[in-house]
Amino acid sequence: MTEIRLHNSRTRRKQPFAPLDAQDVRMYVCGPTVYDRAHLGNARPVVVFDVLYRLLRHVYGKKHVTYVRNFTDVDDKINARARMLQEGGDTRSLNEIIRALTDETIDWYHADMDALGALRPNHEPRATEFIVQMVAMIQGLIDKGHAYAAEGHVLFDVRSYPEYGKLSGRSVDDMIAGARVEVAPYKRDPMDFVLWKPSSVEEPGWDSPWGRGRPGWHIECSAMSHELLGPAFDIHGGGIDLQFPHHENEIAQSCCAHPDADFANFWLHNEMVQVEGKKMSKSLGNFFTVRDLLDELEKRMPKRVAGEVIRLVMIKSHYRQPMDWTEAAAKEAEATLRKWARATENVQSEKIDQRVIDALSDDLNVWGAITVLNELAANGDGSALLGSARFLGLLSEEVRAISQATEAYFDLQKLLILRAEARKEKNFARADLIRKRLDDFGIQLVDQSATVTAPKFEVFKIEEVIQSLPPEDKENLLGQEEYVVPRIFNNKAFSDRYQSFVARKVLGELE
């Protein structure tokens, strides 16, 4: 069996992965708080752990891997967004708005992550569906002396768990010394964190031994993972921003609630996202949702291709390194997908190159896997290229068909975009040159509006152009057949070749 080695954040080293039960490999990944569209930072762990999920299923079998990713649907950010809608005129109750908001956001999330080629987890629990389990776990922590009730709240006693801070490499005393927040008067220790808090009449709330209230953020993942995966499981993943305090708190409350188990054996954390070399943030104006990027990319490529372009850019960077989204990286990813699509044209069978599995088994070395894919494309091994790309969640049948069928369209589209930019910049000489050169090859440009231009093909002129071409170009375009005028553009293969030939020739002249 293939040996998988993963970098364990808890031990700070790469280790051989040995599941607790090879017949029941279990992974939990922290999911989103559902109050708005998923941004690039939300999407990165989805794609990273999707690759790991695919690898685990390949090595241990699809039926022997369970993947859980939660939805946080009870949170102060959700409440705040619902209040904003009320203030904007929504007449529904706060709870009605919250339910509609979270339902809609989960639908958005699914649509966006599906577009990135991510497989759905086996379970996607909502926090609000596990309140009973959270209350039971909190009561158990109180009974064991690890939590206490105060003024309608229940707080975890950090000092009761000596291992607190081990995951993030921090000591409790150092954390207290560096804290700059006002400490609530009901806390015994500044680092104690909330397990349960009171709710106002209009806020979401559930009955509990400590009064009507709602859970703190950290307890939900402990309760849901225990319910769905048991007190000990194999892998817990998420973004590096969750390592402290969220994951640190999860470990403390789970290990104290179930002292005979060790919670998660492996902890994996993906690094943050940058945009054009800078941290993504709203203040810098470089904050993008997945939908923003899909919409932008779909202006120049089919929808399915856009999703795989984003996916390929994301997985190219090692998950423990920052991922930098750049326009250049997107264009390179698009070109790579089209190259692979051409290399798999007419390929019917597929197989996975073992070197791809070996690369991914080395702490998800996707770049090593992509290097193999490029080698397969260069060597003409379409079957292994197709199977290996699909193992990475790329080159779906739809994308492959679109990429192969529309190669000519996009070659010509590049010229139309260049001409539109020239007209916008009032560089009419360049715009007229593009029009003239295309017309020389029998492709007329019809400006239907200020922003829409459509090509019109003059078949008789195209025949004259073909007859005047050097023998090598003529053979590449026509193959072994001689096409008569009425049939030229009835043959799609020829039509595509001719458009690409002309577009690339004119683009070369413009460079």
Q: Which residues pair with 29 in a beta bridge?
A: 69, 237
Task: End-to-end CA distance of the chain: give it in Å, rounded.
Answer: 52
**246 annotated among ligand-binding-site residues:** yes
Q: Give CA–CA dist 231/209, Å, rounded.
A: 24
In 3D space, the residue among 210, 180, 191 whose CA is nearest the CA of residue 252 turns out to be: 191
Burial 452-483 (b: 16+ CB within 10 A, else e): ebebeeeeeebeebbeeeeeeeeeebbeeeeb
Say whether 203 counts as a known binding-site residue.
no
Torsion of CA 360, 354, 395, 113, to 10 degrees: -30
Per DSSP, 396 falls in state -
Using an 8 Å Cβ cutoff, are 5 and 363 in contact? yes
Q: Is 256 one of the annotated binding-site residues?
A: no
86 vs 92: CA distance, rounded Å: 7
Which tokens belong to 38? Answer: 């998923």
Sequence-distant (≥ 6) Cβ neighbours of residue 249 within 8 angstroms = 156, 193, 218
Q: Is 153 annotated as a binding residue?
A: no
Tokens 């054009």 belong to which residue? 276
* Burial of 320: CB neighbours in 10 Å, binned 0-12, 13-18, 19+: middle
Question: Contact, 60 vs 19, CB < 8 A?
Answer: yes
Mention every residue, 6+ apart, whose C-beta is less than 8 A from residue 76: none
The answer to whether 7 is annotated as binding is no
- Binding-site residues from annotation for Zn(2+): 30, 221, 246, 250
Mark the binding-site residues, compressed into ranges: 30, 221, 246, 250, 282
Binding residues for ATP: 282
